[in-house]
Structure 1
Amino acid sequence: MHRRPGLYGTKMLPVVEKIATVVVCEDDELTREMLCQNLTDDRFSALPAATAEDALRLCRFNAPDAMLLDLNLPDASGLDVLREIRSAAGPAPIFDPALPVVVLSGRSADGERVRGLREGADDYLIKPFHYPELLIRLRNLLRRRKGVRSGPIRVGLLSVDIATRGVKIGERRVDLANKEFELLRA
């Protein structure tokens, strides 16, 4: 539990486990803030990115679990970002080439959707979209990717919950960095 100062002393608040880390690459500030706030409210860790460069940097150094990607970015096309991620290769790639990516775009033509999916997007939502639908699609992608089970995986005293990214040894909670958790999960 974390201690947070209150008006009349210190209150104990429960530690809320994050479901997953999501890069939100959207050039429109209001949309980006709305998505990040809603994801945070739904127990995700949201990393905002206004440009393609920001998104790629966040992917490189934070090992996110998914990305929401706008196609119209000020410094590059969202499809360029998608290609960069999907083309990562080698024994230690800079990006996870299997990163789940949901494209968010105002481009509604069938050809545009097909092109986005052909380039490697896992899903494609047309703006304006309904956040509850986006949330369900994102959770489904993450569940399929991680093979989320009904409970934690236990080996001896070690307990790993893939869905919540929680790790315990006995009853003691262990905090791991993203990279440490990914190595443990592998």
Structure 2
Amino acid sequence: MPAPITEEQAHRDRELLLDAAERLFYERGIRAAGMADVRAVSGLPLKRIYGFFATKEELAVAMLRRRDERWRGSLAAHVEGVADPRERVLAVFDWLGAWFAEPGFRGCAWINAYGEAGATSEDVLAEVRAHKREFRAQIAGWADAAGAGAVAEAVFLLAEGAMVTAGITGDPAPARHARDAADALLPQRGTTDDR
């Protein structure tokens, strides 16, 4: 009789499974990567995988949720390391540019998931919308702190457009172009958006 699985082992297995799903779903797409692929990459038996997540959709939602925490946390750490509030807003685009230049960059995981499953999965759609809402709120917070609340939505749309364009072209330059456009929109130091 096999030894019972400890909580620690269950946690490690779940993280291993989410790592495998994230890699496969991001590289190939949610629909193209089958559960047999997830099994092969994770090394976990299908019975164990389905013990964690009853469906591939549940696995995809959990993967997106975990990726959101890490992605937005990394962005916040970078941006909040910048002292000047105006430069913080622009630092969003510096962080995006570095991400776009990473090997294996395939665009925004949430936009990709929406394109694949947003029309057929309410849970995936809800997770994509939650991520975009939180990302927008981050940008709005940084823009407000810079006295640029009036242009927060435009800055958010510049970031989103840069993600889509970089994902399609495979070129990190859209981050720089979007940064330049955001710089032109932001009030200059010593002014506010109440002009």
Alignment TM-score, normalising by the size of structure 2:
0.27
Q: Which has the higher helix share?
A: 2
Alignment TM-score, normalising by the size of structure 1:
0.28
Q: Which has the higher strand share?
A: 1
